[in-house]
Amino acid sequence: MKILVPVKKVIDHTVKIRVKTDATGVETQGVKMSINPFDEIAIEEAVRLKERSIAHEVIIVTIGLETHQDILRQALALGADRAILVTAESATMLEEFDSLDIAQILKLIALKETPDLVIMGKQAIDDDCNQTGQMLAALLGWPQATFASQVTIESGIADVAREIDGGIERMAFQMPGVITTDLRLNQPRYASLPNLMKAKQKPIGTMKMSELNYTPRQRIVTQTVFNPPKRQSGQTLSSVSELTQRLFETLSPSS
């Protein structure tokens, strides 16, 4: 079984982002970047399936820029076998892709690589879209299992526990299909130094967007990015009875 894991390079989740003064986006200059945390969970799940001999190959793919090699090396150090980098002409162009563009490109890669399973993040923590996995499944005509917190693979069937509004849903699909990861699926490992060294030997295939014969749609366009309204900081209370008083006032504003 072959698993494809799409990953995105995003601003690290610990960074406090700053909106650019010209309102075109968010400052990325000199800011720490990482693999999207949900994608790390996806890599971990794929690697575990390989370690249990359920999968025989784990392929990472990112649509990005030359400078995104580093996250692919990172993914290879975590146990993936090889990686594919699809490069956009420019950073601006990459930013202008909407989720459907990304899903269309991933579809072309999936048709080439014919994986049995795609495991990917439920959400990229920069655009917070939560779309690409579902779109990819639809474009391929495959079933999907989103927000997975447990995955079991047996005789061509993926059994998935999904985190839903009212609890957990247990569902299953006939592979091939797409799984998107939720936080509780696993705890990703750290790449060890020897594995980081070994990862340097693993292959990364690079191709230009233009080689894929896909014309981006770029239909959903970000016009401006701005700061949300700020909350005023409040009062520090020093006694429980004062707190009780405030709570009563809050709930009956008229009194």
Ligand X SMILES: Cc1cc2nc3c(=O)[nH]c(=O)nc-3n(C[C@H](O)[C@H](O)[C@H](O)COP(=O)(O)OP(=O)(O)OC[C@H]3O[C@@H](n4cnc5c(N)ncnc54)[C@H](O)[C@@H]3O)c2cc1C
Residues 120-179 that bind ligand AMP (CB under 6 A): 120-121, 123-124, 127, 129-133
Task: Tell how strand 33-35 and strand 167-174 pair up.
Answer: unpaired
The secondary structure element, H or E, covering residue 173 is: strand 167-174
β-strand partners of 159: 152, 172
Binds ligand AMP (CB under 6 A): choice among 87, 99, 146, 186: 99
Catalog residues that contact ligand X under the rule CB under 6 A.
Answer: 13, 37, 125
Q: Which two tokens stand for residue 84?
A: 């594919």
Q: How far apart are the first and last CA of the chain?
A: 66
Cis previous bond, 188, omega within 30? no
Would you give the distance in Å from CA 200 to the centre of its chain? Answer: 23
Nearest approach in angstroms of CB 55 to ligand AMP is 17
Residue 62 contact among ligand X, ligand AMP, another protein, none, beta carbon within 5 to 8 Å by kind: ligand AMP
| Binding positions for another protein, 125-164, rule CB under 8 A | 125-139, 143-144, 146-147, 149, 159, 163-164
Residues in contact with another protein, shown as a per-residue x/- string from 24 to 43 under the rule CB under 8 A: --x-----------x-----
Residue 255 sits in the site that holds another protein (CB under 8 A): no
Buried b (16+ CB within 10 A) or exposed e, 20-39: eeeeeeeebeeeeebbbbbb
Asked if 188 interacts with another protein (CB under 8 A), we say: no
Nearer of residues 219 and 230 to ligand AMP, judged by Cβ? 219
Instruction: Please tell me whether residue 221 binds another protein under the rule CB under 8 A.
Output: yes
Which of ligand AMP, another protein, ligand X, none does residue 6 bind (CB under 5 to 8 Å by kind)?
Answer: ligand AMP
From the list another protein, ligand X, ligand AMP, none, which binds 246 (C-beta under 5 to 8 Å, kind-based)?
another protein
Give 22's DSSP letter.
Answer: T
Closest CA to 45 of 142, 175, 182, 138: 182
